[in-house]
Amino acid sequence: EGMIMYTPNGYMSASLHPAKRGPVSTQYVLQAPAEEKAELFASFMFYGGPYRIEGEDVIHSVEHALNPDLVGAEQLRHVQFDGDYLILTGEEKIAATGLSRFHTVRWQKGQ
């Protein structure tokens, strides 16, 4: 699950998370055990910043992210539309292995 938003003045924001993220075991998330906080971090993705369109691709220039390693990166996504769906596909190079990981996200237009 998640949400992606694009503003007319050229900014975007995306968040992704599993459909079933339970409540934390403590009243305040910062009081949760380290393992629980690590799982919360590992199960949530957020980034945002300016975007630009180049042909059939969108490039997200990351200015803010839950994962600080993404800040300053550009996320290139191929764009397709299918009815009420925006389909973004991308390739992620994994430096440690030299391999690539491909992913597709289907975003349904909000009502």
Is-above-0.85 flag for pTM?
A: no
Average model confidence (pLDDT) across the chain: 92
pLDDT tops 90 at residue 50: yes
> Which pLDDT belongs to residue 9?
97
Query: Strands, E, within 1-111: which ranges?
Result: 2-6, 11-16, 45-54, 57-61, 64-65, 74-82, 85-94, 99-108
Write down the pLDDT at residue 40.
85
pLDDT at 106: 95
Q: How far is residue 2's CA from residue 65's CA, in Å, rounded to a whole number? A: 15
- 49's tokens: 């910043």
Question: So what's the pLDDT on residue 96?
Answer: 83
pLDDT digits (tens, 9 = 90+) for 70-86: 999 999 999 999 999 99
Q: Assign 98 a pLDDT band (cuts: 50, 70, 90).
A: confident
Q: What does the domain layout of the chain look like in residue ranges?
A: 2-108
- Please tell me the predicted confidence (pLDDT) of residue 86: 97
Q: Are 58 and 77 in contact (CB under 8 A)?
A: yes
- Under CATH, domain 2-108 is a member of which superfamily? Uncharacterised protein PF14869 family, DUF4488 (2.40.128.490)
